[in-house]
Amino acid sequence: MKKSGFTLVEIMIVVAIIGLLAAIAIPSFVKARNTSQQNACINNLRQIDSGKEQGAMAHNLSGTATISDTTVNEYIKGGAPTCPGGGTYTYNALGTNPVCSAQSITSHVLPN
């Protein structure tokens, strides 16, 4: 009688191949997640900046006037956005870009 099954060497080879594939794939997934969080955060910063401009026009503000966060949030669909990277947004005065406090590998900065 001959027993059928896998030998220990065959099982170890399969486990080694799976480990190698995981070692290659996991850094790519982390990089993709960081990039998507950065893009989502930059989009939120654009929405905040647009809300600031719309609120300023509606309330006849100009220059470097300060506009409240609640006023800006009225002009953002869905209200105040949240940073996917866990940071918080500082709206700043008119004429100054909003900033995100997220501390991650990629920077969450609104391009000029």
Residue with tokens 């995981």: 22
- In this structure, is residue 112 part of a structural domain? no
- In this structure, is residue 78 part of a structural domain? yes
Averaged confidence pLDDT in the chain: 89
- In this structure, is residue 109 part of a structural domain? no
| In the predicted structure, residue 104 carries a pLDDT above the cut 70 | no
User: What's the domain count of the chain?
Assistant: 1
Domain with 26 in it: 8-100
What 3-state DSSP class applies to 74?
coil
Q: Residue 102 contacts by C-beta under 8 Å, 6 or more apart in sequence?
A: 37, 41, 83, 85, 86, 87, 108
Q: Cα angle at 73 between 69 and 74, to 5 degrees? A: 125
- In this structure, is residue 53 part of a structural domain? yes
Over residues 21-47, mean pLDDT: 92
| In the predicted structure, residue 112 carries a pLDDT above the cut 80 | no
- In this structure, is residue 47 part of a structural domain? yes
- In this structure, is residue 105 part of a structural domain? no
User: What CA–CA distance (Å, rounded) separates 47 from 91?
Assistant: 11
